[in-house]
């Protein structure tokens, strides 16, 4: 498949990762109880989010848009209102998005050290310990700082390499 088809399919799966957990939550809650609905919604979200990211890993020569999509998707999920209560879904979305972006970035630029992406990975873990400021403001601040640090390091390394 072409890069465009894989990228568009990934975007479509990601949109489904926002919509279908609501259906799973409603069906589980209506058929059984709220806990079953929440678990069904979480499982549906995780499966579709992972499928979306894995689809991008099959792109042979990723563009910058393809490389950054998982990171943007993960943090888009963090800043939207919580579909599932608790920090675990936000942490999963942010961490999985950062991890997929790191993998794709390494494919696009293999000369970049994997340690460069540590700030992005740590920012993905922040929703587990965050919550000092209500809402997504603190998560977004941590993410933007981590992204800036990563971009400056990568830019400097790329400038030095021949």
What is the tens place of the pLDDT at every residue in 56-80?
A: 888 888 888 888 888 888 878 777 7
Please tell me the pTM assigned to this model: 0.73
Q: What are the pLDDT digits (tens) for 142-157?
A: 777 877 877 777 777 6
Number of domains in the chain: 1
Q: Nearest to residue 92, comparing CAs of 67, 104, 75?
A: 75
CB distance 138 to 130 below 8 Å: yes
Q: What is the spatial distance between Cα 21 and Cα 37, in angstroms, rounded to a whole number? A: 9
Q: In which domain, by residue range, is 111 found? A: 3-160
């Amino acid at each position: 498949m072409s890069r465009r088809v894989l990228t568009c399919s990934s975007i479509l799966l990601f949109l489904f990762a926002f919509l279908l957990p609501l259906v799973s939550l409603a069906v589980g809650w209506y058929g059984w109880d709220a806990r079953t609905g929440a678990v069904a919604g979480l499982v549906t979200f995780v499966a579709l989010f992972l499928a979306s990211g894995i689809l991008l890993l099959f792109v042979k020569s990723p563009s910058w848009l393809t490389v950054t999509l998982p990171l943007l998707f993960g943090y888009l999920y963090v800043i939207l209102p919580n579909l599932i209560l608790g920090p675990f879904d936000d942490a999963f979305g942010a961490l999985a998005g950062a991890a997929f972006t790191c993998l794709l970035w390494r494919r696009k630029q293999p000369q970049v050290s994997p340690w460069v992406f540590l700030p992005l990975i740590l920012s993905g873990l922040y929703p587990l310990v965050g919550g000092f400021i209500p809402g997504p403001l603190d998560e977004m601040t941590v993410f933007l700082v981590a992204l800036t640090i990563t971009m400056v390091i990568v830019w400097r390394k790329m400038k030095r390499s021949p």
